[in-house]
Amino acid sequence: MTAFIKRNLQLFFTNGSNLFFSLLGALISFVLYIVFLKQNMASALPFTGKSAVLDPWVIGGTLTVTAVTTTLSALSQMIQDRERGTLADFLMTKLAYWQLQTAYLVSAFIVGWIMQIIMAGVMYAYFAAVDGITIPWKLTPQLIGIAGFSSLIWTAFSLLCLSFVKKVDTLGKLGTIIGTASGFFAGVYIPIESVPKAAQTLMKITPAPYNAALYRQLLMKTALNDKFSGARAGQKAAFETAFGVRLKLGSVLSLTSVYGVMLAFLVGFVIVALLLMRRSRKQVMVRI
């Protein structure tokens, strides 16, 4: 199974176009922020040194988009192998069907984890050079941990989505839809409380805003404590909820509650995907 995981990773990382398009959604949100969004949001903030707050804010959202799109792209190899009959060929070896499925999932998980870390490094390097923000090296272990947790959840989500896909032709359309929508659901294009209530509710029935909130609470903590000190201390809570640093479900969720919601999504995705896996297995077995 290890060799099969290596094979999947090699196919992903040696395909330049695959790498680019898997990051396209994240790159779009990053570029839109630099070119258009940052100036508009900065004009509404009542303090100086706004980049120290806004840059890690967009990093948190963009890393969420990265987790969504890269895990989906990596797991798409499963659909390609299924349609081409390659998966049926592998079943003629000693590997069982569940082992092959596990290998695809592990590969997608590793890809999502690595790509989030790389994207974080690229964005922080850019903002350090352009805006002079400090790279939070001491937060690296926690950042890596959230990246792994995010990759796990979005790998399960990708498995669920791809359970309904039979043709390779459908992959591009699905990837475009999810890549575009993920930026909205993660609250990258516009802060969550700037959209109508119905749209906020729609965002909150996905893991994306909670995932972004995990990143933002970690990366923005020091800057927020600095900018909202003294006379502005009372404005901090309102800013955090408006910008999706903290989320409301009746009341403002604690960090533990956000992790709990994410775990609930993970369990739900896994259960439904396992139920649908029987159909996928039948599609492969008929080729043997």
- Alpha-carbon torsion, ordered 49, 54, 55, 58, to 10 deg: 180
Q: Which residues pair with 252 in a beta bridge?
A: 248
Round the CA-based radius of gyration of the chain to a whole number and report it.
Answer: 20
What is the reported pLDDT for 17? Answer: 86
Other Cβ atoms less than 10 A from the Cβ of 276: the count is 15
Does the predicted TM-score (pTM) go above 0.85? yes
DSSP conformation class of 248: E
> How far apart, in whole angstroms, are the C-alpha atoms of residue 52 and residue 227?
9
What is the reported pLDDT for 281? Answer: 57
Cβ neighbors of 178 (< 8 A, separation 6 or more) are: 25, 68, 69, 72, 161
> How far apart, in whole angstroms, are the C-alpha atoms of residue 213 and residue 246?
6
For helices 97-130 and 140-162, what crossing angle results, to 10°? 130
> How far apart, in whole angstroms, are the C-alpha atoms of residue 36 and residue 40?
7
Instruction: Supply 135's token pair.
Output: 């790279």
Cβ neighbors of 186 (< 8 A, separation 6 or more) are: 29, 61, 62, 64, 65, 68, 208, 209, 211, 212
What is the reported pLDDT for 98? Answer: 80
Phi and psi at 251, nearest 5°, equal -125, 170
> How far apart, in whole angstroms, are the C-alpha atoms of residue 178 and residue 72?
9
Instruction: Supply 150's token pair.
Output: 């995010």
Structural domain for 22, as ranges: 2-285
Number of domains in the chain: 1
- On whether the CB atoms of residues 5 and 104 are closer than 8 A, the answer is no
What is the reported pLDDT for 231? Answer: 61
What is the reported pLDDT for 187? Answer: 92
Number of H helices, E strands in the chain: 14, 2
DSSP letter string over 20-35?
HHHTHHHHHHHHHIII
Q: What is the mean pLDDT of each run of 10 residues along the chain (288 residues)?
A: 90 90 92 91 84 95 97 92 78 77 94 97 96 93 97 95 84 87 92 91 95 96 87 82 92 94 96 78 52
> How far apart, in whole angstroms, are the C-alpha atoms of residue 252 and residue 7?
44
> How far apart, in whole angstroms, are the C-alpha atoms of residue 186 and residue 281?
33
> How far apart, in whole angstroms, are the C-alpha atoms of residue 20 and residue 77?
16
What is the reported pLDDT for 7? Answer: 92
